């Protein structure tokens, strides 16, 4: 099976069940949505997929390979990349260095020698990828600025560019458009569509901006209180009673 | 069996005092999130104040005791409470630097006032000896034990029975509760600092007659307390007191055993650090949660000097360094030492600033380099340069050993583990033949460069210039390379780096190894320069001073190590005023506290200071390792 597959994931913090039996499939070459009210457990699902949180039970597979026993960096090297809701940029580095590290971090990997000495072919590759990604995300003009000093919109693009520079086949994007204005969001969506179309990348998108979700995703999963409550096409989700009930009174953004 | 009783009793008595001190330490840590490296310094202040009142001014001891406790509780406690509030929201490294700064300032102040030699502290308790089941016990021992136990028990009761007490207990159990407890949080914190400081002072007063009035020994009492606190997981008060007893007992009983083995003579004194190190290294993940750190950070607006300005700066610096023999006169050896320290500081900066790891055992790396070099170049007769390189390389595994706790721990606990490691090596390994040996010193040759005479001050100075420039160039190259990016990335966000595919554990080990290499080369150079070098040149206390001075020296890659070395080595040689030099550590300590408080992101001092034409460079990123990982985990909780 191509893409990311989550089966019956259950995550518990103490007595609290944050994720309760979620299953979903995010195939390659497509953008899949994951929505739900605040605190529904979306970020926890991401943390469990990337290894930052250990689920109590369930399976996570990428292209058929079981990821559960692997460490955070090992999962990343298998091809799962992510961004963070609160953005985890390398603030004291420049934009170009951030994007470079997107590729170099994986090349260094778990190999002490590769931390220090790059493979001969690496240098060329890194340069080309960095340049192309900066171009794709339209941030070439700020390449030499320090990431910590940028606006939220620019920082979101830098974080996206950093994961796009890596050798990931599946990206988990955690509310990438929060803090962006209308225009920036549209530009963001365009970059995502291109990355998917050009490279066959799979994307699992957690998002509160419904117009972004409805226009980019082919299939959408809805969770509430850690439980899956619905999944279907954007049209089906928009017309679902269950989804409306879950959002009613909460933040139907 | 009977042979053991005296050791058990002595161990229980000193252990109870360790427990008392540790209880105070844990209490203030739990309520404020500030782990006070200066806790032992409060004990020292208490002991000296008691000495001053009783032995110098003739105040009866009960009155002197009460005055000491009141001053420690109210005045020192208040000062620490304010300091803790100023540090709220700063990074772990800033906190470590601030309280280590307090330690250095107080230690310096006491040394400047009373001299470095131990003063005789007369016992004030009745020393009548009586026999329990055939074992002689001093009445003073019984009293000390009962006072320590009583104070801790009283604290436990206070926590149980009073409103402020139960608020404190709630906080000790779960520090997040402070703001929910419905009690005035400032009063809770102030009370806990008052009690914590009074306990520290009391332990100093009780311990002084036994170990003598020695500013360093008393200041380092804090480490016995660290060991005890580690057993109490830095949170449980009764376990902490019990931990004090355990540390005291093991140390005391081991004196009986090791008296047969010369090699292990340092063991009893090293027990608390062994306990600390072992607990930290073998603690289960999540067992030790660091308190009070926040994800707040200062956005890195690194002031970039223009390329031209930097080149001009480097060139003029090299010119000054090259010309030093012509203006330094008889002080040239001081300049050589300063050069060595530039390399030491640069290697420390790689660790602390570039990669965001706190290390308090840097002098140990230098000592390893110095002794290895002496054995290889002096003893084994290897060529000078080869021995220098090998000295650096052989320190690499030592760096790797230190990095073991770094992999699992972070921030505060890493700082504690490195501190423990440094003292462990100093007490246990320094006297062994592989390091300084029984004589306490080793000899090392200077290089033989044919017609170029390296035995003159000027000749060796230029050797040092070349080696140090090569070292700096190496560090600079590392900084600019892929490794440098990985290190800076790790300092900014280890979580991000890991999710991009780097095994950050390996990154951490590498930076410790690299830093140890350069520090060891510097140590080797120092040995070669000194000819004869002893363990006293690399006291573990020096590691604390190094971190503090680097913190106040600014953030420049080249400038900070130079400024730090000048402040530590060259300035004191030019100031003829002995008083100034005596008080220099006080100045360092106080400045470090100020720098740490000013680094608080909640203060917008940056803008204000920029207006004054100064900049605060001390940025530190260590806390993020653990904290951010937790924040990421917490984010998803509904």
B297 chain-A contacts, CB cut-off 8 A: 91
Of chain B, the percentage scoring pLDDT greater than 90 comes to 42
For B317-328, write each residue's pLDDT tens digit.
Answer: 999 999 999 998
Residue B334 and residue B244 in one domain: no
Q: Which of A43, A109, A115 sits opposite B483 (nearest CB)?
A: A115
Final residue belonging to a domain, choices B253, B282, B315:
B253
Helix (H) / strand (E) element for A229: namely strand A227-232
Final residue belonging to a domain, choices B224, B253, B282:
B253
Structure tokens at A164: 């796009």
pLDDT for A242 beyond 90: no
Query: In what side-by-side order are the strands of the sheet with A227-232?
Result: A80-82, A170-174, A202-206, A31-35, A219-224, A227-232
Contact yes or no for B220/B424 (Cβ under 8 A): no
Nearest Cα to B141, choosing from B9, B240, B30? B9
A residues 82-101 lying closer than 8 A (beta carbon) to B: 82, 84-86, 88-93, 97, 100-101
Helix (H) / strand (E) element for A239: namely helix A234-239
The pLDDT of residue B619: 37
Q: Does residue B159 lie within any of the structural domains?
A: yes
Residue B337 and residue B213 in one domain: no
Q: Which of A90, A146, A226 sits opposite B493 (nearest CB)?
A: A90
Q: Which of B301, B499, B506 sits opposite A148 (nearest CB)?
A: B301
Q: Does residue B11 lie within any of the structural domains?
A: yes
Choose between B75 and B137: higher pLDDT: B75
Contact B501 A76 (CB under 8 A): yes
* Alpha-carbon distance B634 to nearest alpha carbon in chain A (angstroms): 8
Q: Does residue B388 lie within any of the structural domains?
A: yes
pLDDT for A50 beyond 50: yes
A72 chain-B contacts, CB cut-off 8 A: 498-499
How many residue pairs from chains A and B have C-beta atoms closer than 8 A?
151
pLDDT for B285 beyond 70: no
Range among B131-135, B140-144, B483-487, B603-607 rated most confident: B483-487
pLDDT for B302 beyond 70: no
Residue B338 and residue B244 in one domain: no
For B475-506, write each residue's pLDDT tens digit.
Answer: 999 999 999 999 999 988 889 999 999 999 89
Whether A8 has its CB under 8 Å from any CB of chain B: the answer is: no
Sign of the torsion formed by the C-alpha atoms of B605, B606, B607 and B613:
positive
Structure tokens at B275: 């306990």
* Alpha-carbon distance B482 to nearest alpha carbon in chain A (angstroms): 6
Residue B7 and residue B151 in one domain: yes
CA–CA separation, B604 and B621 (whole Å): 18
Residue B220 and residue B348 in one domain: no
Sequence-distant contacts of B55-58: CB under 8 A, at least 24 apart: B55/B121, B55/B122
Choose between B262 and B517: higher pLDDT: B517
Contact A86 B635 (CB under 8 A): yes
A50 chain-B contacts, CB cut-off 8 A: 499
The pLDDT of residue B222: 76
Contact B482 A102 (CB under 8 A): no
CA–CA separation, A216 and A211 (whole Å): 8
Residue B201 and residue B90 in one domain: yes
Per-residue confidence band for A243, with pLDDT thresholds at 50, 70 and 90: confident
| Chosen from B490, B626, B638 to mutate, greatest number of chain A CBs within 10 A | B638
A residues 168-187 lying closer than 8 A (beta carbon) to B: none
For A53-72, write each residue's pLDDT tens digit.
Answer: 899 999 999 999 999 989 99
Helix (H) / strand (E) element for A173: namely strand A170-174
Q: Please give the domain boundaries of chain A with CATH numbers for all domains.
A: 1-79+168-253 (3.40.50.300), 91-165 (no CATH)
The pLDDT of residue A163: 96
Q: Does residue B446 lie within any of the structural domains?
A: yes
Per-residue confidence band for B618, with pLDDT thresholds at 50, 70 and 90: very low
Residue B357 and residue B235 in one domain: no
* Alpha-carbon distance B95 to nearest alpha carbon in chain A (angstroms): 21
Complex confidence, ipTM: 0.94
What's the rounded mean pLDDT across residues A16-20?
A: 90
Choose between B579 and B1: higher pLDDT: B579
B503 chain-A contacts, CB cut-off 8 A: 71, 73-74, 109-110
Final residue belonging to a domain, choices B253, B277, B303:
B253
For A99-137, write each residue's pLDDT tens digit.
Answer: 999 999 999 999 999 998 888 888 899 999 999 999 999
Per-residue confidence band for B452, with pLDDT thresholds at 50, 70 and 90: confident
CA–CA separation, B63 and B373 (whole Å): 55
Total tally of structural domains belonging to chain B = 2
Q: Does residue B18 lie within any of the structural domains?
A: yes
Residue B249 and residue B349 in one domain: no
Choose between B29 and B300: higher pLDDT: B29
Residue B101 and residue B245 in one domain: yes
Q: Which of B300, B510, B636 sits opposite A115 (nearest CB)?
A: B510
Contact B501 A92 (CB under 8 A): no
pLDDT for A248 beyond 70: no
Per-residue confidence band for B256, with pLDDT thresholds at 50, 70 and 90: confident
Contact A91 B492 (CB under 8 A): yes
The pLDDT of residue B542: 94
Sign of the torsion formed by the C-alpha atoms of B528, B530, B531 and B536:
negative
pLDDT for B91 beyond 50: yes
The pLDDT of residue A14: 78
Q: Does residue B290 lie within any of the structural domains?
A: no
CA–CA separation, A82 and B384 (whole Å): 51
Q: Does residue B61 lie within any of the structural domains?
A: yes
What's the rounded mean pLDDT across residues B590-601?
A: 87
Q: Which of B483, B632, B638 sits opposite A52 (nearest CB)?
A: B632
Mean residue pLDDT across chain B? 84
Residue B147 and residue B244 in one domain: yes
Whether A123 has its CB under 8 Å from any CB of chain B: the answer is: no
CA–CA separation, B284 and B593 (whole Å): 32
Choose between A74 and B158: higher pLDDT: A74
The pLDDT of residue B180: 55
In degrees, rounded to 5, the angle at the alpha carbon of residue B623 between the alpha carbons of residues A41 and A74 is 55
For B337-370, write each residue's pLDDT tens digit.
Answer: 999 999 999 999 999 889 888 889 999 999 999 9
Sequence-distant contacts of A122-131: CB under 8 A, at least 24 apart: A126/A100, A129/A103, A129/A165, A130/A96, A130/A99, A130/A100, A130/A103, A130/A165
Cβ neighbours around B461 below 10 Å, total: 21
For A165-198, write each residue's pLDDT tens digit.
Answer: 999 999 999 999 888 888 889 999 999 999 999 9
pLDDT for B297 beyond 80: no
The pLDDT of residue B159: 83
Nearest Cα to B107, choosing from B633, B602, B583? B583
CATH number at residue B604: 1.10.3470
Residue B245 and residue B337 in one domain: no
Contact A41 B638 (CB under 8 A): yes
Q: What are the residues facing A232 on neighbouring strands? A: A220
Residue of A nearest to B513 (CA): A112
For B529-561, write each residue's pLDDT tens digit.
Answer: 999 999 899 998 899 999 999 999 987 888 999
* Alpha-carbon distance B503 to nearest alpha carbon in chain A (angstroms): 5
Structure tokens at B127: 């020393």
* Alpha-carbon distance B28 to nearest alpha carbon in chain A (angstroms): 27
B176 chain-A contacts, CB cut-off 8 A: none
Range of the domain at B97: 2-119+133-253
Diameter of chain B measured on Cα atoms: 82
The pLDDT of residue B617: 39
Residue located via tokens 């920082």: A155
Out of A94-98, A150-154, A201-205, B172-176, least confident range = B172-176
The pLDDT of residue B638: 33
Q: Does residue B557 lie within any of the structural domains?
A: yes
Residue B198 and residue B347 in one domain: no
Sign of the torsion formed by the C-alpha atoms of B126, B129, B133 and B135:
positive
Structure tokens at B583: 């008080």
Q: At what angle do helices B92-114 and B411-424 cross, to 10 degrees?
A: 40
Choose between B420 and B336: higher pLDDT: B336
The pLDDT of residue B373: 96
Contact A82 B619 (CB under 8 A): no
């Amino acid at each position: 099976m191509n893409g990311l597959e989550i089966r019956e994931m259950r995550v518990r913090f103490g007595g609290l069940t944050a994720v309760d039996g979620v299953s979903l499939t995010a195939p390659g070459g497509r953008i899949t949505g994951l929505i739900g009210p605040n605190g529904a457990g979306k970020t926890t699902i991401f943390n469990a997929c990337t290894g930052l949180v250990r689920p109590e039970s369930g399976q996570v597979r990428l292209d058929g390979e079981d990821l559960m026993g692997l460490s955070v960096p090992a999962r990343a090297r298998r091809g799962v990349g992510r961004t963070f809701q609160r953005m985890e940029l390398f603030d004291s580095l420049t934009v170009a260095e951030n994007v470079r590290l997107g590729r170099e971090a994986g090349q260094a990997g778990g190999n002490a020698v590769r931390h220090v000495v790059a493979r001969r072919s690496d240098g060329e590759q890194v340069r080309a990828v960095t340049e192309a990604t900066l171009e794709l995300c339209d941030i070439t003009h700020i390449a030499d600025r320090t990431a910590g000093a940028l606006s939220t919109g620019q920082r979101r693009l830098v974080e996206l560019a950093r994961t796009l520079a890596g050798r990931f086949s599946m990206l988990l994007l955690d509310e990438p458009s929060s803090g962006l204005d209308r225009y920036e969001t549209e530009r963001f969506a365009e970059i995502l569509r291109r990355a998917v179309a050009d490279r066959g990348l799979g994307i699992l998108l957690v998002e509160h901006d419904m117009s972004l979700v409805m226009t980019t995703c082919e299939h959408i999963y809805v969770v509430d209180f850690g439980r899956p409550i619905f999944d279907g096409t954007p049209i089906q989700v928009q017309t679902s009673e269950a989804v409306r009930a879950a959002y009613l009174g909460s933040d139907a953004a | 069996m009977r042979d053991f009783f005296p050791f058990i009793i002595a161990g229980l008595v000193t252990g109870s005092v360790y427990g008392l001190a540790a209880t105070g330490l844990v209490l203030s840590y739990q309520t404020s999130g500030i782990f006070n490296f200066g806790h032992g310094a409060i004990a020292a202040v208490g002991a000296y104040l008691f000495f001053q009142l009783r032995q110098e001014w003739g105040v009866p001891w009960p009155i002197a005791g009460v005055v000491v406790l009141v001053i420690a509780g109210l005045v020192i406690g208040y000062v620490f409470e304010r300091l803790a509030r100023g540090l709220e929201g700063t990074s772990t490294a800033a906190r470590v630097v601030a309280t280590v700064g307090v330690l250095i300032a107080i230690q310096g102040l006491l040394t400047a006032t009373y001299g470095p030699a131990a003063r005789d502290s007369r016992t004030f308790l009745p020393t009548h000896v009586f026999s329990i089941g055939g074992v002689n016990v001093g009445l003073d021992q019984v009293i000390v034990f009962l006072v320590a136990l009583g104070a801790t028990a009283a604290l436990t009761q206070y926590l149980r029975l009073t409103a402020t007490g139960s608020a404190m207990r709630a906080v000790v159990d779960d520090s997040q509760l402070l703001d929910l407890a419905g009690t005035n949080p400032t009063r809770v914190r102030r009370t806990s600092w008052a009690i914590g400081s009074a306990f520290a002072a009391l332990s100093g007063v009780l311990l002084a007659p036994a170990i003598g009035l020695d500013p360093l020994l008393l200041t380092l009492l804090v480490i016995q307390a660290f060991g005890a606190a580690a057993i109490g997981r830095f949170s449980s008060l009764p376990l902490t007191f019990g931990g004090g007893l355990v540390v005291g007992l093991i140390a005391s009983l081991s004196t009986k055993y090791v008296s047969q083995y010369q090699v292990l003579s340092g063991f009893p004194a090293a027990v608390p650090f062994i306990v600390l190190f072992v607990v930290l290294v073998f603690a289960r993940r999540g067992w030790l949660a660091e308190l009070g750190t926040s994800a707040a950070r200062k956005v890195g607006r690194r002031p970039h000097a223009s390329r031209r300005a930097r080149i001009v700066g480097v060139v003029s610096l090299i010119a000054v360094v090259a010309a030093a023999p012509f203006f330094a006169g008889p002080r040239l050896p001081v300049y050589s030492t300063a050069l060595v320290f530039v390399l030491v500081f640069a290697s420390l900066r790689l660790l602390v600033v570039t990669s965001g790891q706190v290390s308090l055992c840097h002098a140990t790396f230098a000592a390893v380099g110095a002794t290895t070099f002496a054995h290889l170049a002096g003893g084994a007769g290897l060529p000078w340069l080869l021995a220098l390189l090998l000295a650096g390389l052989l320190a690499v595994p030592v760096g790797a050993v230190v990095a073991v706790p770094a992999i699992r721990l972070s921030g505060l606990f890493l700082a504690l583990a490195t501190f423990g490691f440094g003292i462990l090596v100093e007490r246990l390994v320094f006297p062994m033949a592989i390091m300084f040996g029984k004589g306490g010193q080793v000899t090392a040759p200077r290089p033989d460069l044919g017609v170029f005479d390296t035995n003159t001050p000027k000749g060796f100075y230029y050797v040092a210039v070349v080696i140090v420039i090569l070292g700096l160039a190496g560090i600079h190259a590392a900084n600019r390379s892929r490794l440098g990016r990985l290190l800076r990335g790790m300092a900014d966000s280890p979580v991000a780096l890991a999710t991009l595919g780097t095994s950050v554990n390996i990154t951490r080990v590498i930076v410790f190894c690299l830093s140890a290499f350069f520090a060891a080369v510097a140590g080797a150079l120092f040995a070669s320069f000194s000819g004869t070098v002893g363990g006293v040149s690399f006291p573990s206390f020096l590691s604390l001073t190094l971190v503090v001075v680097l913190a106040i020296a600014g953030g420049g890659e080249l400038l900070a190590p130079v400024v730090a070395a000048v402040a530590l080595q060259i300035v004191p040689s030019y100031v003829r005023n002995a008083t100034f030099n005596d008080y220099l550590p006080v100045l360092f300590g106080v400045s470090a506290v100020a720098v740490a408080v000013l680094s608080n992101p909640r203060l917008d001092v940056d803008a204000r200071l920029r207006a004054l034409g100064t900049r605060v460079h001390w940025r530190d990123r260590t806390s993020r390792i653990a904290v951010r990982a937790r924040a990421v985990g917490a984010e998803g909780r509904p």
